[in-house]
A and B are shown apart, each in its own frame.
Chain A
Amino acid sequence: MIVGLTNFETHFTEVIKVSHDPELIKELEGKAKLLRKHTIEIIRYAGKGWIGGSFSEAEIFTALLFHHMRIDPKKPDWPERDRLILSKAHCCEMHYAALGEAGYFPKKYFSTYGKFGGILQAHSQRTVPGVDYSGGSLGTGLSFAVGEAIAAKLFSQKTSDGTTVPRNRVYCIIGDGECDGGQIWEAALSAGHYKLSNITTIIDRNKYQSTGAVDSIIEIEPLSEKWRSFLWNVIEVDGHDLGQILDGLEEAKKLTNKPSIIIANTVKGKGVPSFENKVHFSPLTDEMYDEAMKALT
């Protein structure tokens, strides 16, 4: 008998559906649309960018930065803040759009993207207020999250009811193509082993990478089973349904004995029909810009 395989189902967590205030969901949906508009403006300044992978992240960033995370945009270096690590850091345009909208820096910085001397570099970088991790080397962000999560546990704080809780939570967004790389799985093993329940990883499962469909390049399915077998709690959601994302984030936060991964099933380029499942890194033509603005208005 192969020990462990039979136990997959017991690792599975049923997401308890919460009925969110429809006003909240509506507000957040409006925010996600606005972030896509900011993103296309940011990309327009550079003339090119990671349109597809940025658009698929819109609802994930919205849920995290505009509702779920404990942050203070006026204090980007606050030690007790929750951390947000964008491991797929090339899709920085949506990251910058969300941070600018959240008030970490003035939105006029958007115009520096892709420009010499610009504050907004082509991969999320710590010199930008609100960015917790300089990425660009794919597969490394989850290891950084593991280090952050251990530090937060070592700095655990006593709550009023006498229990100890980690100083902060750590959120890490990874890509599905990024799962080709070995360091993701080194990090996954160590997070499972050390029961880092203060990590929530969100995988932007948009199904495309640089040269084609993820599963035609290197098959990564069955993804849920892989993560479960690495001792993670796995939650699957529609990555463009804000209610489902919020449910998943809340569910993950409740666990105390294992890290969680939310498999967010997304559509690359989501929000502009002509971009969907087509655009990865691309120049932004005037025609594309007009189409995007039309679709997002």
Chain B
Amino acid sequence: MLEFLRDSFSESRTMYSGHNEALVELGDENSDVLILYADFAQGQAGPYYRKKYPERIINIGIAEANLMTVAAGLAEGGKIPFTHCHSIFAIGRAYNQIRQIAFDKYNVNIILCNTGMFWDFMGASHQVIEEIAALRALPNLVLLSPSDAVEAKKASKAAAYFDGPVAIRLAEPETPIIYNDDYPFEIGKATLLKEGKDVTIAVTGILMSKVLQAAKILEREKIDVQVLNFHTIKPLDTETIKNSARETGAIVTVEDSSVIGGLGGSITEILSENYPIPIHRIGVRDVFGQTGNMEELATEYNMNITDIIKAAKKVIKKKRK
């Protein structure tokens, strides 16, 4: 394991808490940073701004379309807005407005709250499976998908100073802290989390800790797993994918979203054009979700540790001899 990874996954936090730490720091270091939200709980940054910078936190109400276009106007006016709403409604109710932001490359940071399949309790109407596919089809838009609170904080800080629109996926459940604070994060550059030569597991988002646990179990069975963190889904680090495919000859992709057009879809597109090898995509397979905690849902939809182990063994078997 590399040195920026924690030895144990004993501490758990939400990604949103890491994002909020970033907002508090950004609030102090840049007077142009604004919090916009669609009647949505803001975390610890909310009270902090309300006390210190009351004019820099703006509630737009339950109106996601207005939220996105107001943010575009603020960005044109010279501000750095962070919009906050449930991802399902950002995509479902304000996609056209996000598209306009992408078209004119406004410096709007779109926080996709409660992203993916794992929104404990809320069920199918609120679990978003189509967001990666929808957003990665938009030119100019950067799409980030951190895997713990530390990475979420780094993603939000990087987004504030990135010139152009950035969307950041933040899942709802508390998830183990994976990284130490010295973890290097660079937009557009996949991070190698574990060296290995038998199979690559390419991951984005909240399932990362499950993948690292699966990799440990496979290690005991003498299967040497390479783990890559695709925290940037767009622009995709295609060089790293191609190099990894050449090194291991087999790939499993893992995401908390639909495999259709998701990270699995993206990597399959790149490799089928450049270096076709056996691939298995773990993710939501063309179904809507339901209420359930992360463990229950991961098991039901074949996204749990045992599924990752099985998939790794399957693609290794299919490798060209």
Which positions in A face B, CB cutoff 8 Å?
79, 83, 126, 132-134, 137, 140, 143-152, 154-155, 182-183, 186-187, 189-190, 194
Contacts and interface: CB of A to CB of B under 8 A. Distances in A.
A190 B66 contact: yes
A152 B77 contact: yes
Interface stretch (B8-16, B97-105, B210-218, B311-319): B97-105
A154 B63 contact: no
A151 to B, nearest CB: 3
A149 B79 CA distance: 11
Most interface-central of B68, B70, B74, B76 (chain A CB within 10 A): B70
Top 3 closest pairs, chain A to chain B, by CB: A147-B73, A151-B77, A143-B69
A24 B97 CA distance: 40
A126 B104 contact: yes
Contacts of B97: 137, 140, 143
A187 B71 CA distance: 12
Given A134-B103, A140-B100, A154-B79, A190 B63 contact: yes
B272 interface: no
A32 B189 CA distance: 54
B78 A143 contact: no
A187 B76 CA distance: 17
Contacts of A79: 78
A155 B105 CA distance: 22
Contacts of B78: 79, 151, 155
A186 B63 contact: yes
Given A146-B73, A150-B74, 15 more contacts: A133-B76, A137-B99, A140-B65, A143-B72, A144-B72, A145-B73, A146-B70, A147-B73, A147-B77, A149-B73, A151-B76, A152-B77, A154-B79, A186-B66, A190-B70
Interface string B25-67: 0000000001000000000000000000001101011010110
Nearest to A150: B74
29 contacts: A133-B76, A137-B99, A137-B100, A140-B65, A143-B65, A143-B69, A143-B70, A143-B72, A143-B97, A145-B73, A146-B73, A147-B69, A147-B73, A147-B75, A147-B76, A148-B74, A148-B77, A150-B77, A151-B76, A154-B55, A154-B56, A155-B77, A183-B65, A183-B69, A186-B61, A187-B70, A189-B63, A190-B70, A194-B58
Contacts of B104: 126, 134
Given A137-B100, A150-B58, A150-B70, A182 B65 contact: yes
Contacts of B180: none
Interface of B: 34, 55-56, 58, 60-61, 63, 65-66, 68-79, 81, 96-97, 99-100, 103-104
Contact of A190 (B61, B68, B72, B74): B61
Q: Is the interface of B mostly helix, strand, loop or mixed?
A: helix
A190 B58 CA distance: 10
A182 to B, nearest CB: 7
A154 B55 CA distance: 8
Contact of A148 (B60, B73, B103): B73
B12 to A, nearest CB: 37
Contacts, number: 88
Name the residue in A83, A144, A183 with the highest tally of chain B Cβ atoms < 10 Å from its Cβ. Answer: A144
Contacts of B73: 143-151
A137 B75 contact: no
A143 B99 CA distance: 15
Given A126-B104, A189-B61, A140 B69 contact: yes
A189 B58 CA distance: 14
Nearest to B99: A137
Contacts of B60: 190
A256 B241 CA distance: 57
A187 B77 contact: no
Contacts of A137: 96-97, 99-100
* B60, B77, B96, B97, most chain A CB atoms within 10 A: B77
Nearest to B32: A154
B138 to A, nearest CB: 14
A79 B79 CA distance: 12
A79 B77 CA distance: 7
A151 B69 contact: no
B65 A144 contact: no
Contacts of B79: 151, 154
A155 to B, nearest CB: 7
A83 B208 CA distance: 46
Contacts of B81: 147
A194 B57 CA distance: 12
A79 B72 CA distance: 15
A183 B103 CA distance: 19
Nearest to A147: B73
B4 to A, nearest CB: 38
A144 B61 contact: no
Contacts of A126: 104
A124 B56 CA distance: 31
Contacts of A151: 73-74, 76-79
Given A148-B74, A148-B77, A143 B96 contact: no
Given A140-B97, A148-B76, A151-B79, A183 B58 contact: no
A221 B320 CA distance: 71
A83 B74 CA distance: 12
A178 B75 CA distance: 24
A148 to B, nearest CB: 4
A149 B104 CA distance: 18
A182 B78 CA distance: 27
